[in-house]
Amino acid sequence: MQIYHLLEERFARISSIEDAIGILQWDSETMMPEGAADGRSDQLATLKGLAHELLTAPDTGELLAQADQDSGQLDDWQRANLREMRRIYLHGSAVPADLVEASSKAVSKAELVWREARQNGDFALLLPHLAQVLSFQRQIGQAKGDVLGLSPYDALLDSYDPGLRQEIIDPLFTELGAELPGLIQEAQERQKKLPAIQPLNGPFPVDDQRRIGEQLMKAVGFDFNQGRLDVSLHPFCGGSTGDVRITTRYSEANFMSALMGVLHETGHALYEQGRPEKWRRQPVGLARGMSLHESQSLLIEMQACRSREFVTYLAPLVRETFQGEGPAWSPENLHRILTRVEPDFIRVDADEITYPAHILVRYKLEKALIAGNLPIEDLPSAFNEEIKKLLGLTVPDDSLGCLQDIHWPGGAWGYFPTYTLGAMTAAQLFRAACQADADILPGLAKGDFAPLRNWLRAKVHAKGSLMATDQLVAAATGQPLTAEVFRAHLRERYLTH
């Protein structure tokens, strides 16, 4: 027990450093004056280095082994905590320091070049740098895989989403991919037959947008005593344990995009704010992984806040806030705006039904690149071919194709699939929640999120990392993750009524 408690102390200390890093990163995106960027890099590199030194201290491995021998004395949470400590330790210590540093430098360089390459649609410019990043990612995957007993790509997946494997993703994405093109086409055809969407005409003052955003955040359950809402170029949910900070970006011409963004990040924040109080600074108290995290944002934004029920509550609220008049402000028209289907090139602007197509393309390609089955110079043509297949679009320019996302030059390989796994998980959790509590949907129609929130708190948030993702999903919904509930949700929302 003594050894275990020593480890708890060390991980609590690491958690405090990570929390400090979280606030500094938030500050970089929201408050920091431009000229302070270099100093901030020094601060972040120093703190990350210190956290890594604490994690991989020479005695950590030995302490973990010793604590393991005494694990009979530990309760379930402590045992799970020990398991998570080991997982984090293995990920942190698997990669030699010089490889971490070389990879980090390659990423910094590639991100810089990427900005110019994207602007000019110039893949050739990025190619050598992207090849470098890929090479380091393959080495990192290999190093982690050797320690964890996984293939390189599975090891990368495991960094973002513990327990996630290609053998889990492949059948789910294959099933979805088979249905998507037809589904998208049918949804568009049905859409054409409906009355035309009435646009909402602004300008919509930013102050009003912020006020209604905060009001809805409170309704969803965001605790402003332990969090904030601010503005940044790229919306995110960050901050630290017990101080969760989300951001959005306002446009006076379109309030809906910022508002849905706020609700999306509020879903993430709710997860962070609902982590088990007692374990907040321990590995077992962390959110389980990126799929589940994304499921919480999508559950709030896509499942709850674009439902017909919630839109009946939202419509009069926004009409009053922005003093809107006419049929454009009807719940029916608002719902149509919120569920418009429009295949297009840019992933981050995609609607609910075309978004997964973008992810399937990226998953297939990054898997092949890491496995060495696709030469990096063939990426543009392979990317465009897949987009054509799934979305029926001809990519005119790599800036609208494989150059659009920062993930690959940024070294985030193995991250993309969690977006769509999150969407599938959200659908499955939401259906289970609504089946378990008949008050949830009528609650949304009154702007009352308490029934939904309570279910999520109990089944997801308060579990932290006690269970594996698949166990958690099965315990909450009665079955492992399937593609079918999400497919049914899409059919229901986009092909019927």
Under a CB-based contact definition with an 8 Å cutoff, are residues 90 and 147 in contact? yes
Residue nearer to a copy of itself on the CB measure, 235 or 239: 239
Residue nearer to a copy of itself on the CB measure, 26 or 136: 26
To the nearest whole angstrom, how small is the minimum distance from the Cβ of residue 223 to a copy of itself?
A: 7
Please choose, out of 22-30, 154-162, 167-175, 415-423, the segment that lies near a copy of itself by the rule CB under 8 A: 22-30
Instruction: Please tell me the chain's helix, strand, coil percentages from 3-state DSSP, rounded to the nearest 5.
Output: 70, 5, 25
Sole binder of a copy of itself in the list 3, 6, 10, 27 (CB under 8 A): 27
Reading the block at residue 157, the tokens are 């997946």
Q: What Cα–Cα distance (Å) separates residue 346 from each residue in 221, 238, 337, 409, 479?
A: 31, 24, 18, 17, 33
User: Helix (H) and strand (E) counts for the chain?
Assistant: 20, 3
23: contact with a copy of itself by CB under 8 A: yes
Sheet with 243-248, strands from edge to edge, namely 227-231, 243-248, 237-240
DSSP 8-class letter at 300: I
**Among the listed residues 126, 96, 128, 100, the one whose alpha carbon sits nearest the alpha carbon of residue 114:** 126
To the nearest whole angstrom, how small is the minimum distance from the Cβ of residue 270 to a copy of itself?
A: 15
To the nearest whole angstrom, how small is the minimum distance from the Cβ of residue 28 to a copy of itself?
A: 10
To the nearest whole angstrom, how small is the minimum distance from the Cβ of residue 104 to a copy of itself?
A: 16
Residue nearer to a copy of itself on the CB measure, 226 or 232: 226
Task: Spell out, one character per residue from 153 to 172, where the chain touches a copy of itself: x when CB under 8 A holds, - when not.
Answer: --------------------
Residue nearer to a copy of itself on the CB measure, 141 or 227: 227
**Among the listed residues 169, 139, 167, 136, the one whose alpha carbon sits nearest the alpha carbon of residue 152:** 139
Angle, helices 379-391 vs 166-193, to 10°: value is 50
Please choose, out of 37-45, 147-155, 205-213, 337-345, the segment that lies near a copy of itself by the rule CB under 8 A: 37-45
Q: How far is the C-alpha of 52 from the C-alpha of 46, rounded, in Å?
A: 10
Cβ-proximal residues to 467 (8 Å cutoff; 6+ apart), any chain: 80, 288, 475
Site for a copy of itself in 93-122 (CB under 8 A): none
39: contact with a copy of itself by CB under 8 A: yes
Q: Read off φ and ψ for residue 239, nearest 5 degrees.
A: 95, -145
Of the residues 265, 272, 309, 366, which is catalytic?
265
Angle, helices 255-273 vs 331-338, to 10°: value is 70
Task: State how beta strands 227-231 and 243-248 pair.
Answer: parallel
Task: Spell out, one character per residue from 235 to 254, where the chain touches a copy of itself: x when CB under 8 A holds, - when not.
Answer: -----xxxx-----------
Residue nearer to a copy of itself on the CB measure, 213 or 227: 227
Q: How far is the C-alpha of 363 from the C-alpha of 140, rounded, in Å?
A: 18
Q: What Cα–Cα distance (Å) separates residue 447 from each residue in 45, 262, 442, 480?
A: 43, 15, 9, 30
Q: In this structure, how many other beta carbons lie within 10 angstroms of the beta carbon of residue 365?
A: 21
Sole binder of a copy of itself in the list 3, 6, 47, 382 (CB under 8 A): 47
To the nearest whole angstrom, how small is the minimum distance from the Cβ of residue 25 to a copy of itself?
A: 11
Under a CB-based contact definition with an 8 Å cutoff, are residues 408 and 130 in contact? yes
43: contact with a copy of itself by CB under 8 A: yes
Instruction: State which H helix or E strand residue 489 sits in.
Output: helix 484-495
Task: Spell out, one character per residue from 1 to 20, where the chain touches a copy of itself: x when CB under 8 A holds, - when not.
Answer: -----------xx--xx-xx
Say whether 179 is catalytic.
Answer: no
Task: Spell out, one character per residue from 190 to 229, where the chain touches a copy of itself: x when CB under 8 A holds, - when not.
Answer: ---------------------------------xxxxxx-
Give the rounded distance of the alpha carbon of 458 from its chain centre: 21
Total of chain residues touching a copy of itself, rule CB under 8 A: 35
To the nearest whole angstrom, how small is the minimum distance from the Cβ of residue 240 to a copy of itself?
A: 6
Residue nearer to a copy of itself on the CB measure, 48 or 457: 48
256: contact with a copy of itself by CB under 8 A: no
Instruction: State which H helix or E strand residue 231 sits in.
Output: strand 227-231
Residue nearer to a copy of itself on the CB measure, 222 or 416: 222
To the nearest whole angstrom, how small is the minimum distance from the Cβ of residue 92 to a copy of itself?
A: 17
Site for a copy of itself in 268-297 (CB under 8 A): 281
The per-residue DSSP string of 73-95 comes to: GS-HHHHHHHHHHHHHHHHHHHS
To the nearest whole angstrom, how small is the minimum distance from the Cβ of residue 210 to a copy of itself?
A: 16
- The residues of the shown chain that bind a copy of itself, judged by CB under 8 A, are 12-13, 16-17, 19-20, 23-24, 27, 31-36, 38-40, 42-43, 45-47, 50, 223-228, 240-243, 281
Which residues are designated catalytic?
A: 265
